[in-house]
């Protein structure tokens, strides 16, 4: 291991190894969102629960592009919005409303991702929502919730309705707004968002071809739901099979997210 590689693996003295690992994974997630072209200037946000008994979570410093974010630049906040780490940046107030709502009631919310992509927002703005038109969509639709748009999320009074609409689901279309996923880990939240975004793109392209789509039998949809609805299997796939090669991809491109 070179001296530079060794420095990237050092844990700052003021935090636990578990928090640092979470910071590295979250910073990687921000970089991957930028890599796949899902970012929106400095807007949208991803949060990750800090391991431990407190309901503290990490979120992006408001004013950095996603491809600039590093493990050490992430801001730690509590459920009241107090910043617990020093930063020259504040946090996105709308991001705090959405993410604090979910972290408050979902003990399994290790990571929450919210995006404003063109295709995700297009499907979220359609009356029909996301349909089980194909195999990718069926990875999502059995676990998909909806939340009606109430304006830019600055009103904390919206949080109970967001909590109610999400329930125990892990994918959400925010009507007229965008997409959201929840995962026990950064890895599982990212993989869920990958499938949700791809399903939305597939639906947009299918609808562009004409008014009809080749039908899928309900029995087939039900069969896939039975296979895909095991959360433990999904978590294991994300953390063991999908996330490690994604980190290797980032390390080849630019490992500075680990700083």
The string of pLDDT tens digits covering residues 71-97 is 999 999 999 889 999 888 888 888 889
CA-to-CA distance for 238 and 242, rounded, in angstroms? Answer: 5
Helices 159-166 & 93-105 angle (0-180, nearest 10): 50
CA-to-CA distance for 76 and 82, rounded, in angstroms? Answer: 8
The string of pLDDT tens digits covering residues 162-195 is 999 999 999 999 999 999 999 999 999 999 999 9
CA-to-CA distance for 180 and 171, rounded, in angstroms? Answer: 6
The string of pLDDT tens digits covering residues 31-52 is 999 999 999 999 999 999 999 8
CA-to-CA distance for 144 and 207, rounded, in angstroms? Answer: 20
Q: What is the DSSP letter of 40?
A: B
How many angstroms separate the most distant Cα atoms in the chain? 59
- φ, ψ (nearest 5 deg) of residue 174: -85, 105
CA-to-CA distance for 59 and 251, rounded, in angstroms? Answer: 22
What mean pLDDT is reported for the chain?
Answer: 92
Above 80 in pLDDT, residue 14? no
Q: Which positions ≥6 away from 119 have C-beta within 8 Å?
A: 197, 200, 201, 203, 204
Q: Return the pLDDT at 57.
A: 94
Above 50 in pLDDT, residue 109? yes
Above 60 in pLDDT, residue 8? no
Domain segments of the chain: what residues?
Answer: 3-254
Above 50 in pLDDT, residue 7? no
- Of the candidates 24, 27, 76, 88, the residue with the CA atom closest to the CA atom of residue 52: 76
Above 80 in pLDDT, residue 6? no
Query: What percent of the chain lies above the pLDDT cut of 90?
Result: 80
Lowest mean pLDDT among 39-48, 80-89, 197-206, 242-251: 80-89
Q: In the CATH scheme, what is the homologous superfamily, with its name and number, of domain 3-254?
A: Class II aldolase/adducin N-terminal domain (3.40.225.10)
| Cα distances (angstroms) measured from residue 248 to each of 32, 232, 243, 251 | 12, 24, 9, 5
CB 102 within 8 A of CB 166: yes
| Residue range 8-26: mean pLDDT, rounded | 81
Q: Return the pLDDT at 4.
A: 45
CA-to-CA distance for 153 and 95, rounded, in angstroms? Answer: 8
Q: Which residue has the higher pLDDT, 99 or 211?
A: 99
CA-to-CA distance for 100 and 94, rounded, in angstroms? Answer: 10
- Angle, CA 140 vertex, CA 22 and CA 191 arms, to 5°: 25
């Amino acid at each position: 291991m070179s001296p530079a590689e060794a420095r990237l693996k050092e844990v700052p003295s003021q935090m636990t190894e578990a928090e640092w690992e979470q910071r590295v994974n979250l910073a990687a997630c921000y970089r991957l969102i930028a890599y796949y072209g899902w970012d929106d200037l400095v807007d949208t946000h991803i949060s990750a629960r800090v391991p431990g008994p407190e309901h503290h979570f990490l979120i992006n410093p408001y004013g950095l592009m996603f491809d600039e974010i590093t493990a050490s630049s992430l801001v730690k906040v509590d459920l009241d919005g107090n910043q617990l780490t020093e930063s020259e940046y504040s946090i996105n107030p709308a991001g705090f409303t959405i993410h604090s709502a979910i972290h408050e009631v979902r003990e399994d919310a290790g990571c929450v991702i919210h995006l404003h992509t063109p295709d995700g927002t297009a499907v979220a703005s359609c009356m029909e929502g996301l349909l089980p038109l194909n195999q990718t969509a069926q990875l999502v639709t059995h676990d998909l919730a909806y939340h009606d748009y109430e304006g830019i999320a600055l009103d904390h009074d919206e949080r109970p309705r967001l909590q109610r609409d999400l329930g125990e689901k892990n994918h959400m279309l925010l009507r007229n707004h965008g997409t959201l996923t929840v995962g026990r880990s950064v890895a599982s939240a990212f993989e869920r968002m990958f499938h949700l975004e791809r399903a939305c793109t597939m639906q947009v392209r299918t609808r562009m071809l004409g008014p009809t789509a080749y039908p899928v039998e309900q029995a087939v949809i039900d069969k896939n739901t039975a296979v895909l609805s095991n959360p433990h299997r999904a978590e294991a796939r994300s953390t063991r099979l999908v996330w490690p090669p994604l980190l290797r991809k980032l390390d080849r491109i630019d490992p500075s997210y680990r700083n």
